[in-house]
Amino acid sequence: MHQSTLAQLSTALESNQISSEELTTLYLDRCKQFNGSLNCFITINEELALDQAKSADQQRAAGNASPLTGIPIAQKDIFCTNGIKTSCGSKMLDNFIAPYDATVIEKMNAAGIVNIGKTNMDEFAMGSSNETSFYGAVKNPWDQDTVPGGSSGGSASAVAARLSPAATGTDTGGSIRQPASLCGITGLKPTYGRVSRYGMIAFASSLDQGGPMTQTAEDAALMMNVIAGFDERDSTSAEHPVDDYTARLNDSIEGLKIGLPKEYFGEGLDSNIAKIVEAGIKELEKLGATCKEIELPNTELSIPAYYVVAPAECSSNLSRFDSVRFGHRCENPKDLSDLYCRSRGEGFGKEVKRRIMIGAYVLSAGYYDAYYLKAQKIRHLIRDDFQNALKDVDVIAGPTATGTAFKLNEMIDDPVSMYLSDLYTVSVNLAGLPAISVPAGFVNNLPVGLQLIGNYFEESRLLNIAHRFQQATDHHKAIPEGFE
């Protein structure tokens, strides 16, 4: 049963093959069995999940079920969950019990989805390896000496190991797509503003976007149908009609025009990854798509621009952690400055401190124009590059990550190398576009993702292409050894 997709579980519940309580118990048992080795959960919500499962069973019996009612889904520990510890992977929030639900959680609860647990993540979503978490590194189930990617590494690892059939993630610079690629699952970063940010602990507010991490594109569509939509409590929520994301899944992709950015297939890309990605694109051609080379000339500048914009916004957002109203407080502060400085110094880990300091520096008097303003101008160029390219093609395809999962501790002391590995993902966030990563094959038994980037609010089209790809391929069905 644990090998099933959301769509299959939905059918199983609908036809009374299994109850939500039985299903939830099955997944809770897997979580308890494997969390010790993978460390993908910060909190397993045993009691809550079983209560929610019982209500879901009643809801189904009463004929009030929606497709995902009664299915357990794991939530990244960045989403505030009323009455449950919400740590964001940080010592700062180790003692924080969220007093309200994020909109995403509220919508999932309303749909009768069972919240099985809160997944591990890089501290405040800052990292590409899940090694910056206060709760320790997460392991990649494909090879437990390697990282799952980040920042939504706990979610990716949990779904890959089938400890949860699906999970939520958030993506500020690739944090859904890169771990999806490294763990062999499907990850969709929606258009900026498509999924509400209310109650999603802020990292870089002009870039952050929540989305689904699933086994298949069909499952991502089912989750999008629950979580997408306008929310007046998020000031940048998009007032744009919401699709039925499952409606176009089976449409033909005959005549689809795919752009292949030459900058995405250059020197930085491992040749083995390139082969897998090219084979994936061939598969789309067999389904009727045509390809042409395009240019995104400012791709390389996306990394420096991102590492100005994101830290600047992070230093501003994280100033709320003053240890007055919530969060970690140091022992015996001698005055207010000491309270602020020591509580923050103790509560934040190294990577978070580095980013806060970079942000404080680039925003400080005398440096604003040279860094922040410059980065915002480059952001304009990057957005225009995509818009020009998307005049000629329907979607853009390329690799998600520059390599497969790397070894634990390999890059943790080299932040610049870690940042450079975000090359194919950060520009999408700067431009606010939707993008999906789908499993496309393996190099040395480690998964490789194919990334598809669409125009604004074209999630349905991306899900359609990804679904057709998954109808023609089996990469997404592979389960790591020991977790079958």
Continuous segment of H or E residues that includes residue 380: helix 374-392
Scan residues 270-309 and list those touching another protein (CB under 8 A): 298, 300-301, 303-305, 307-308
Q: Choosing from 10, 19, 20, 76, which is the catalytic residue?
A: 76
Of residues 334, 366, 391, 474, which one binds another protein by CB under 8 A? 334
Contact criterion met (CB below 8 Å) for 227 and 111? no
Of residues 338, 409, 471, 481, which one binds another protein by CB under 8 A? 338
**471 token code pair:** 């109808």
Scan residues 443-462 and list those touching another protein (CB under 8 A): 456
Nearer to another protein, 182 or 204 (CB): 204
Please give the size of the binding site for another protein, defined by CB under 8 A.
73
Nearest to 318 by CA among 437, 187, 201, 408: 201
Using CB under 8 A as the binding rule, whether residue 381 contacts another protein is answered as yes
Report, in Å, the least distance between residue 356 CB and another protein: 5
Contact criterion met (CB below 8 Å) for 147 and 405? yes
Using CB under 8 A as the binding rule, whether residue 94 contacts another protein is answered as no
Contact criterion met (CB below 8 Å) for 437 and 449? yes
**What string marks each residue from 96 to 135 as x (binds another protein by CB under 8 A) or -?**
xx-x------------------------------------
**363 token code pair:** 């925003």
For residues 371 and 442, what is the distance between their CA atoms, to the nearest angstrom?
A: 39
Using CB under 8 A as the binding rule, whether residue 33 contacts another protein is answered as no
76 is catalytic: yes
252 is catalytic: no
Report, in Å, the least distance between residue 2 CB and another protein: 36
Report, in Å, the least distance between residue 382 CB and another protein: 9
Query: Order of strands, edge to edge, in the sheet holding 114-119?
Result: 41-44, 114-119, 72-76, 166-170, 210-214, 186-189, 435-443, 446-453, 395-399, 257-261, 290-294
Q: Choosing from 175, 196, 237, 421, which is the catalytic residue?
A: 175
Strand, coil or helix: 28:
helix
Using CB under 8 A as the binding rule, whether residue 61 contacts another protein is answered as no
Place of tokens 């991490």: 213
Stretch that binds another protein, among 35-43, 179-187, 260-268, 431-439 (CB under 8 A): 431-439
Q: Choosing from 151, 152, 164, 302, which is the catalytic residue?
A: 151
Of residues 375, 389, 440, 453, which one binds another protein by CB under 8 A? 375
Using CB under 8 A as the binding rule, whether residue 85 contacts another protein is answered as no
Place of tokens 């099955």: 26
CA distances from 305 to 173, 373, 376, 382, 426 (A): 11, 10, 7, 10, 9
Using CB under 8 A as the binding rule, whether residue 235 contacts another protein is answered as yes
128 is catalytic: no
Report, in Å, the least distance between residue 342 CB and another protein: 5
Scan residues 383-402 and list those touching another protein (CB under 8 A): 383
DSSP string, 263-328: GGGSTTS-HHHHHHHHHHHHHHHHTT-EEEEE--TTHHHHHHHHHHHHHHHHHHHGGG--SSSSS-
Of residues 90, 323, 451, 470, which one binds another protein by CB under 8 A? 323
Scan residues 236-265 and list those touching another protein (CB under 8 A): 236, 238
Report, in Å, the least distance between residue 396 CB and another protein: 15
Strands (DSSP E) found in 120-236: 166-170, 186-189, 210-214
Of residues 6, 116, 378, 452, which one binds another protein by CB under 8 A? 378
308's CB contacts (< 8 A; 6+ apart) are 358, 362, 371, 372, 374, 375
Report, in Å, the least distance between residue 259 CB and another protein: 19
Using CB under 8 A as the binding rule, whether residue 197 contacts another protein is answered as no
| Residues labelled catalytic | 76, 151, 175
